[in-house]
Amino acid sequence: MIKVLVIGCGPHATHFHLPELLRRAAADGDVAVAAALDVEPRRAFVEEELARRSLPVRALFVAPFDGPDVPAEAEAMLDGLVARGEANAVVIATDPLHHLCYARWALSRALPILMDKPVTTRENAALDMAQAEGIAADYDDLLARWRALPEPRPPFHLLAHRRYHPGILEARRIVREACEKTGCPVTNVRGAHCDGQWRLPHEIVTQLHHSYHQGHGKLSHSGFHFLDCLVEFWREGLRGSGASADDVECFASFLRPDGLALQMPRSVLRNAFGPDYDEACPETDEELARRYAGCGEVDVEASFALRRGGVPFSLASLSLLHGGYSRRAWLLPDRDLYKGNGRVKHEEHSIEVGPFLNVRIQSYQSKDRHDVCAPGADEEPGGNNHYELLVFRNDRMIGGKPFERFRLRDLPGAEGFDPGSLFIAQVKALGLGEWLGAIRRRGAPGGPPPSSDFADHRLSVLLMSALYRSWCARRAGASPLVTVPWEDPAR
């Protein structure tokens, strides 16, 4: 039996991990949910949430803590579960500030791990150079601990779920095919993501889910996905063309809550919400500005240059927003800050292979309720499951059709998906399924390499750390250009 302890019982666990694990427990027969672990101050909320969502899971609680290691009392509780045979695998779904300590504990017990992205973050990563650099150090620490374990090592996967997305996978295949035909690598990548999370000024300094007030923000939340996509697109181009790279030059601009205050001062918000806004947020703009001093990034504009011999030969940019288009139109926040509270998502990717190919991915939602999806209608722009792949080829040079459009249902690998439920949740389920399959096959010869093995994420982590370093350097009046070595581990 694979007995999974889910560490962290927040929105992602209750929306995805626990329901999907319970479904697999009922269907597969060799999977069980051992328990869900959270911190004591959240007891009432967690127990109420499990009951409200009809999740029959035992809840365990530990005292809050910080630091790189699990404290003795919590460690004794966790060790007891393992010693009694109640848990033999872990899903780490805490906030990323606590990924490091729980992963260290699980590795010291040689337990299989599935960890949410990003690998880790640090308090004040957007404010303190040492903390920005520490993000890369955390990854190297965990990688060294995992590699020190005897073979066969326990599966250690990161749930960077776009590595399983049929749209991303098909785009990568098409890009690689063009690079193999032409010998030209990927020459430009543009990515954009808007999370649709409109957070009001008084909420910015209190809300813990996807927080800003702990000195980090968008890069430490969904931003990691798009760094990882950029790395994968570049890798396909280099592998297909046979070209090589030495390093990546990085530059970051952040918009923080003090910038939001300039976009939407109190007068704008009072006009939007009426006089009730004064009661909800009595603090003046000046008072809030003082509290914003320790906040991290809301929006990020990042520029990259892939280089060989110091010469850039492929450029990339990422526009990563928490603070863009939203459906929120109410003053008090919803209980559900993960899939509710007016959240809608927009996503774009554009990959160029010189004059030979352009691949565009587009996904635009306009609904903030995702529990039920309408087959057909929700696959169009604005729908919950809108996803399009647009392919433009120089057919006279590389053959094929000059233009192709793939909708969600047309994508290879999407045939078994249910159009009546949220597509991205089904993509995540592929990552969870791969991890469970790796546990079942542990030590067996052969089998495909994992799509999101922990050891394959170092470059994405280095880029995340580099962007924080770039911003910290700008704040200190130093050069904001940060260079990291290019890495392409064989898979």
Both 371 and 459 in a single domain?
Answer: yes
CATH code, domain with 192: 3.30.360.10
Alpha carbons within 13 angstroms on the beta-carbon side of residue 386 total 18
The pTM of this model reads 0.96
Question: What does the alpha-carbon distance between residue 368 and residue 375 come to, in Å, rounded to a whole number?
Answer: 17
**pLDDT over 70 at 490, yes or no:** no
Both 138 and 165 in a single domain?
Answer: no
Asked whether 247 and 486 are in contact (CB, 8 A), the reply is: yes
Mean pLDDT throughout 295-309?
97
pLDDT of res. 430: 96
Question: What does the alpha-carbon distance between residue 275 and residue 181 come to, in Å, rounded to a whole number?
Answer: 63
Task: Supply the DSSP symbol for 190.
Answer: E
Residue 324 lies in a domain: yes
Count how many domains the chain has.
2
pLDDT of res. 491: 47
Lookup: tokens for 185: 């690598």
Both 185 and 73 in a single domain?
Answer: no
**pLDDT over 80 at 338, yes or no:** no
Question: What does the alpha-carbon distance between residue 382 and residue 64 come to, in Å, rounded to a whole number?
Answer: 41
Lookup: tokens for 442: 């542990």
* Least confidently predicted of 122-136, 183-197, 337-351, 418-432: 337-351
Q: Which helix (H) or strand (E) holds 446?
A: none
Mean pLDDT throughout 211-216?
92
> Cα Rg for the chain, rounded, in angstroms?
23
Domain range enclosing 133: 2-159
Asked whether 384 and 365 are in contact (CB, 8 A), the reply is: yes
What percent of the chain stands above pLDDT 90? 86
Task: Supply the DSSP symbol for 285.
Answer: H
Question: What does the alpha-carbon distance between residue 419 and residue 355 come to, in Å, rounded to a whole number?
Answer: 36
Domain boundary among 159, 188, 211: 159
Domain boundary among 128, 159, 190: 159
Both 37 and 98 in a single domain?
Answer: yes
pLDDT of res. 336: 79
Domain boundary among 159, 180, 203: 159
Q: Which helix (H) or strand (E) holds 50?
A: helix 43-52
In this structure, the dihedral spanned by the alpha carbons of residues 106, 110, 112 and 117, taken in order and rounded to 10 degrees, is: 40
For the stretch 350-361, pLDDT in tens is 999 999 999 999
